[in-house]
Amino acid sequence: MKIAIGIAIAGFLGAVARYGAGFLFPYDAGSTGFPWATLFINLSGSFLLGSLTGWLMRRNDLAWLGEVFGTGFLGSFTTFSAFNGQMWQLWEHHAYAQAMSYLLLSAVGGWLLAMVGLRWGRGKPL
C-alpha cells in the first residue's frame, strides 16, 4: 500500500514536470513544428532511468526507489502516447522528413542514452 501511494505521488509529479517542460519549448500541434519538448523529456528520462537502473544493480536494498522514482516519476514524465500523437500529426501535415528525424532521434537516441546511463550507473567509465 505504501508503495502505491509513493507511485501515485511520483506519477503526479512526473506528469506535472512533463506539462511544465512543454512551456520551455512551445509546440503547436496544428503546424509542422518539431516536438522538441517531448523529445527532450523522453531522451533525458531514458538517460536518468538507465542510470538509476544501473546504480540499483549495486544496491539491492533500494528496490522501492526504482519503483517510486523509476516506474513512478520517470515512467510518468516520459510518454509514448504523445510521441505517437505527434508522429501522426507530422505525417498528416506531410512533414515526412521531420517525422523520420523525430522517430530516429527518439528511438535510437533514447536507446543509446539508456545504454550510456546503465554503464554509468553501474560505475563503469562512459
Least spacing, CB of residue 78 vs another protein, in Å: 4
CA dist., res. 94 & res. 108, Å (int): 22
In the 8-state DSSP scheme, what is residue 30? T
CA dist., res. 96 & res. 79, Å (int): 21
20 annotated as ligand-binding: no
Q: Binding to another protein (CB under 8 A): which residues in 57-86?
A: 67, 70-72, 74-85
Q: Does 20 bind another protein (CB under 8 A)?
A: yes
Q: What Cα–Cα distance (Å) separates residue 84 from each residue in 19, 47, 109?
A: 17, 20, 16
19, 80, 57, 5: CA torsion to nearest 10: 50
115 CB burial (10 A radius; 0-12, 13-18, 19+): middle
Closer to another protein at the Cβ: 23 or 61? 23
85 annotated as ligand-binding: no
Closer to another protein at the Cβ: 97 or 111? 111
Q: Does 45 bind another protein (CB under 8 A)?
A: yes
Q: Interface with another protein by CB under 8 A: which residues?
A: 4, 7-16, 18-20, 29, 42, 45-46, 48-50, 53, 67, 70-72, 74-85, 87-89, 103, 106-107, 110-111, 113-115, 117-118
- The annotated binding site is made up of 75, 78
